[in-house]
Chains A and B, each alone.
Chain A
Amino acid sequence: MSESFGEIKQEIMDGIGQLANSKAVYEFKKQFLDSKAGKIGLLMKEMKNIAPEERANFGKRVNELKEWAQQRFTELDEMMRAKELELRYESEKIDVTEPAEEMKAGNLHPITQMRNEIIDVFSGMGFEVVENKEIENDYYNFTALNTPKDHPARDMQDTFYLSPEFLLATQTSAAQIHTMEAKKPPIKILCPGKVFRSDDDATHSPMFHQMEGLVVDKKITLCDLKGTLDAFVQKIYGEGTTTRLRPSYFPFTEPSVEVDVSCFECGGKGCKLCKGTGWIEILGAGVVNRKVLQNCGIDPDEYSGLAFGIGLERATMLKYGINNIKLLFESDIKVLEQIDNN
């Protein structure tokens, strides 16, 4: 006869203490509980050698031993696994203050972000977006905009010429003419574009961006200009924002106005941003000059219009507190990564 019940039990109890991990537990357990070769299984095979009247008792004892062993091993296994899990966790301890893995997307250019924001606002008001030409004809850039050759307003802009007839657009206003030649009122357009003037310092760049707006329809008035721009600045700078109009001059509008917005930094009390005035100049605008409509074959007695031009660099610099226009064109990643998509 093989080992006695007591010996097996003792062997298990002795052996259990020596086991280092769950794998060892598994191997040790197999020695006893493997269905074919396990020592407890082998006891069952002894059954045939047991006297028939003792068989029932013997079987019961084997089962008891089996259950007992199984329970021991289960307990042990659970304990081992818990310990191992803990060890594994411990071995994987990290310093949570170490830097994060970068998962950065890039950004749209700050000017593009500003441009999209403005387009969103005016799209909702029914303005469609048109594109401008960077190289313009003198007629579209000046003459048709009521700025003939000897007009002093041409001095307001230092123009880059490419030939006597062609030049780099000094303003997006040429889009007004192209649009009005191509379609008749009602017109509501927005034209973002690159423009060029021979100027180069901390606040001027020889290339910069404007956003032209034009409405031509019946009964458009200066009040509509104010209402449209009020709606615009409230969307961009917040509900309480207001505009202030003051007289100015552009050849293609009459009356012409400069538009100031109540300072979005201090709310109009006066601060560094608004130089203590409570107002920030953001754009030029006006009622479309009759001559401009006439130049495009639109009857100025039937239709009237409003136009405005926003300087995108200025708007962008104000919004993000950028102090040098050059930073917008230098493509320094350290600058570009700061202005996150909105």
Chain B
Amino acid sequence: MLVPLSWLKEYVDINVSAQELEKKLFSCGFEVEELNEVGKDVSNVVVGYVEECEPIPETHLHVCKVNAGSHGSFQVCCGADNVKAGGKYPVALVGATVYATAKDHKTVEGVMTIKKGKLRGYESEGMLCSGVELGVSEDMFPGAGYNGLLVLPEDAEVGADVKPILGLDDWIFDVSITANRPDCQSILGLAREVAAVLDQPLKEPSYEYHETEVKKDGFTVSVTAPDLCPRYIGHYVYDVTIGESPLWMKRRLALVGQASISNIVDITNYVMLEQGQPMHAFDSEYIEGNAINVRRAGDGEKITTLDEQEYVLNSNHLVICDGKKPVALAGVMGGLNSEIRDTTKAVLFESAKFARDNIRKTSRALGKRTDASAKYEKGVDEYSTVHAMKRALHLIEELGCGKVSSTHVDVNTGNSIQPREMKVSLKKVNDVLGIDVPEADVLHIMKNLNFDPAIAGDELTIQVPAYREDMDSYPDVAEEVIRMYGYEHVIPTFMPGAVVTTGGMNAKQRKELKLKKDLCTTGAYECIHYSFFSPSDLDLLRLPKDAPERQAIRILNPINEELSLMRTTLAASMLNAISRNQKKGNLSGRLYEIGKKFIAKELPLTEYPDERETLCIGVFGEKESFFTLKGMAEKVAESLYVSFEYIPAKKSFLHPYQTAKIVCNGTEIGWMGKVAYPVAEQLDLRTDAYLLEIDLKTLGQLPCGKASFEPLPKFPGESRDLALVMDKALTCGQIEECIRNSCQYAKGIKLFDKYEGAPIPPTKKSMAFTVDFVPGQEPFEADSVDHFVKKILKNLKNQLDVDLRS
């Protein structure tokens, strides 16, 4: 919210600098996001008196002798048509900064520094300035809008800084207002806080006005949707003369970026800015049926708003209607049909309170956000509703632009705007804070904040102003006290009253962290990807139409389609990460993510979905293979004290012959494999990539071992190499299993060589294994291992038709 210092000063005497006020506001809960001096780009511009002014022949220029008081007298060349001897104008001295303008003399093109120059052979020391060059508009200073020199008042002191004269010495605070303080969404609201924090009285503006005898006969207001409009105040104003607003009003509006339109419209805007209460003025001539009705719109009902946009409404929207038709979209914008024109002779002022939720929904649904709707969304209190109308009527009289009739209609639900009494225990207030704030300070603070406090024993009684709807119980009082008393009084203590508790991670969390660290030891980097993904990711994975992964939970209001589904697999995010890396020239690497996939029990959601912790690994580069990834899978198994089996499988996005499902204790817990070539091609991958996904939630529910110590064998073991010849279809796993089942002492079984080709027959292949035999409690006999080998070979022959290679 923009707040000019000069406007604040209307309601409270400010005896500190703008910077100090910024600090005070900050300390009591109002962060000033920006503090800008109005004339921050203008410097060294003073009142210049043109003593002589001669035309330069054959040009539009004049050469002037400018008296700048204590700064001296200078020769200045000037191209403006309104320069004349005896006039006072702003003169930018050499070294001054002003705005540079385009050739049209109107468009600002940055800031320039004035240097000595020569025009048509004439020395020029300085520049006489226009309003635009000083950043002053017509609304801020009369005559400033002229496309020529800004004419200063005759009584301006020669050589004096022009900034105070033109109001450029003002400051604009951009204050951020927290959602609990809608009462501070106005200059006056903030002035109340400033008064409290500076220990100054608040000077309320005048709410006085005089009603004439005139009445608008038969005029009625009805509210048929009181749930959406708890209060509606209308007042009829006649003998209206549309015209310009006075300079002080135009200037204030201009300072907060509000263009002046006409006196009546300006009054509504001014009151909204000052009081925080949106107001509307209808041209009463266009109010048909001598009536106002506040009701829900009919389905398909249309309205054209002031900005000439047409909207089709439904019963969720609230409209202000006359006897026949909607004349305003409640709380958002007035209707074009009843807008104030130059010819307007009578006006109906509206000051109303609308349900904030309804205004928000309407504003969102129609994509129409106005200053009024923003105020309503945050909340407008009835205190302001009442006072804003009074203020507007006062301004009608002050500006002399109309007469206040005695037709005043107030439809309300009976809410009082009187202060409500609240009693709290001082001890409880102090218990929240942990310190004892002296009673005198509590009284002083609450008094400054208009709570009219009294203390009797432990009981603090306050009168809560109607605009403080946020005040509910003693913690609210504690907050009011401490924000004014100062947070520096809060001393650090370390829960002396609390019970000692044990902290830290649980077993599952520790296990997950260990898994992450173990994966890092394989050279993999942990990634974090968004929990959402794109429908196109499902297509990237070539998932069939009926794939369970396609049953993803949809976000109703996603940022875009790319981020519209909750992940049902982590594979697509990993593929995209690999692709991004490769595009940046990182052609090899190992990545992993532990994230959740979301499995809905039912769509749309009616209960919490299953959030499944999932591990996804992606490796890519020339050195990677199915087996390097398998090594990482084994690392996972080792980290979690489980063992995996790998069974050939198929996945729509993986290589048909380099893919396995991963099984643990007979339960399928994941898959791994090489990324299929069409997928790799679609992602422009330049090196092969391999993916793995393991459902950690399922895995976590399976039995697992733990770190334990096994005594080392007492007796030496023996190793044998077995070169075997077998049918090509046999797998390494089958051979290993057969060897393991043949001999309980065969502990380590490791493939160390593979061979195909002559002299092996074409239908066969050779595989060579090292088998470690480890003795148990007794040492091996001299020929034990030979016997084991014989038995193994016999079983291999009988079960799998495997021969020892000759």
Contact = CB atoms under 8 A, between A and B. Distances in A.
Interface of A: 104-109, 111-112, 116, 119, 122-129, 131, 133-135, 137, 149-153, 155-156, 160-163, 165-166, 168, 186, 188, 190, 194, 196, 198, 200, 206-207, 215, 217-224, 226-228, 230-231, 244-249, 251, 254-257, 287, 289-290, 304, 328-334, 336-337, 341
Given A135-B553, A254-B476, A249 B181 contact: yes
8 contacts: A112-B526, A134-B611, A186-B498, A222-B490, A223-B491, A224-B434, A227-B492, A247-B29
Interface in B441-483: 473, 475-476, 478-479, 482-483
Contacts of A150: 355-357, 360
Given A224-B493, A257-B487, A336-B527, A152 B377 contact: yes
Contact of B530 (A220, A329, A337): A329
A218 B498 contact: yes
B432 A287 contact: yes
B178 interface: yes
Contact of A128 (B433, B504, B556): B504
A253 B494 CA distance: 19
B731 interface: no
A222 to B, nearest CB: 5
Interface in B768-786: none
In order of increasing CB-CB distance, the 5 nearest A-B pairs are: A221-B434, A223-B434, A219-B497, A247-B29, A150-B357
B563 A206 contact: yes
B556 A163 contact: yes
B589 interface: yes
Given A111-B528, A126-B501, A221 B520 contact: no
B577 A331 contact: yes
Interface centre among B27, B498, B559 (most CB of A within 10 A): B498
Nearest to A119: B505
A206 B495 contact: no
A128 to B, nearest CB: 5
Interface string B499-512: 11111111001000
A118 B740 CA distance: 48
B483 A255 contact: yes
B623 to A, nearest CB: 11
B702 interface: no
Contact of B521 (A105, A161, A230, A337): A105
Given A123-B504, A152-B179, A206-B530, A133 B494 contact: no
A223 B490 contact: yes
B11 interface: no
B604 A163 contact: yes
Interface in B509-554: 509, 513, 516-517, 519-532, 553-554
Given A129-B505, A165-B605, A196-B531, A218 B483 contact: no
Contact of B556 (A161, A194, A218): A161
B557 interface: yes
Contacts of A135: 553, 566, 598, 605, 608-609, 611
Nearest to A223: B434
A336 B580 CA distance: 14
B431 A221 contact: yes
Contacts of B492: 223, 226-227, 230-231
A230 B290 CA distance: 66
Contacts of A112: 516, 526, 528
Contacts of A105: 520-523
A190 B506 CA distance: 12
Contacts of A207: 530-532
Contacts of B60: none
Given A221-B433, A227-B493, A152 B356 contact: yes
Contacts of A219: 431, 496-498
A129 B179 contact: no
B526 A107 contact: yes
B499 A186 contact: yes
B745 interface: no
A221 B586 CA distance: 52
A120 B608 CA distance: 31
Given A217-B498, A220-B498, A152 B432 contact: no
B379 interface: yes
Interface centre among A109, A122, A331 (most CB of B within 10 A): A331
Contacts of B501: 126-128, 186, 188
Interface of B: 26-29, 178-182, 355-357, 360, 377-379, 431-435, 473, 475-476, 478-479, 482-483, 487, 490-506, 509, 513, 516-517, 519-532, 553-559, 563, 566, 577, 580-581, 584, 586, 589-592, 596, 598, 604-606, 608-609, 611
Given A106-B525, A336-B525, A290 B473 contact: yes
B527 A331 contact: yes
Given A215-B495, A220-B497, A223-B491, A247 B483 contact: yes
Given A116-B513, A166-B605, A247-B27, 17 more contacts: A112-B528, A122-B503, A128-B503, A135-B605, A152-B378, A153-B180, A155-B179, A160-B555, A160-B556, A188-B501, A194-B531, A196-B531, A206-B559, A217-B499, A222-B432, A290-B475, A304-B431
A333 B596 contact: no
Nearest to A166: B605
Contact of B178 (A108, A249, A254, A304): A249
B530 A223 contact: no
Given A105-B520, A152-B182, A255 B506 contact: no
Interface centre among A128, A219, A255 (most CB of B within 10 A): A255
Contacts of B529: 329, 331
B629 to A, nearest CB: 14
Contact of A245 (B490, B522, B590): B490
B580 A332 contact: yes
A137 B26 CA distance: 35
B651 to A, nearest CB: 22
A227 B524 CA distance: 39
A133 B586 contact: no
B357 A162 contact: no
Contact of A332 (B379, B559, B566, B586): B586
Given A112-B516, A200-B559, A207-B531, A332 B581 contact: yes
B378 A244 contact: no
A77 B569 CA distance: 71
Contacts of A123: 503-505
B556 A162 contact: yes
Nearest to B483: A247
B491 A334 contact: no
A198 B611 CA distance: 21
A331 B579 CA distance: 10
Contacts of A151: 179
A66 to B, nearest CB: 44
Contacts of B499: 186, 217
A55 B498 CA distance: 106
B179 A153 contact: yes
Nearest to B588: A333
Contacts of A255: 432, 475, 478-479, 482-483
A248 B498 CA distance: 26
A248 B29 contact: yes
Contacts of A133: 608, 611
A206 B182 CA distance: 28
A156 B556 CA distance: 19
A152 B526 CA distance: 38
A228 B503 CA distance: 15
Given A152-B356, A223-B490, A247-B483, A106 B526 contact: yes
A248 B598 contact: no
Contacts of B360: 150, 155
A283 to B, nearest CB: 15
A203 to B, nearest CB: 15
Interface centre among A122, A151, A249, A254 (most CB of B within 10 A): A254
A333 B526 contact: no
A105 B483 CA distance: 50
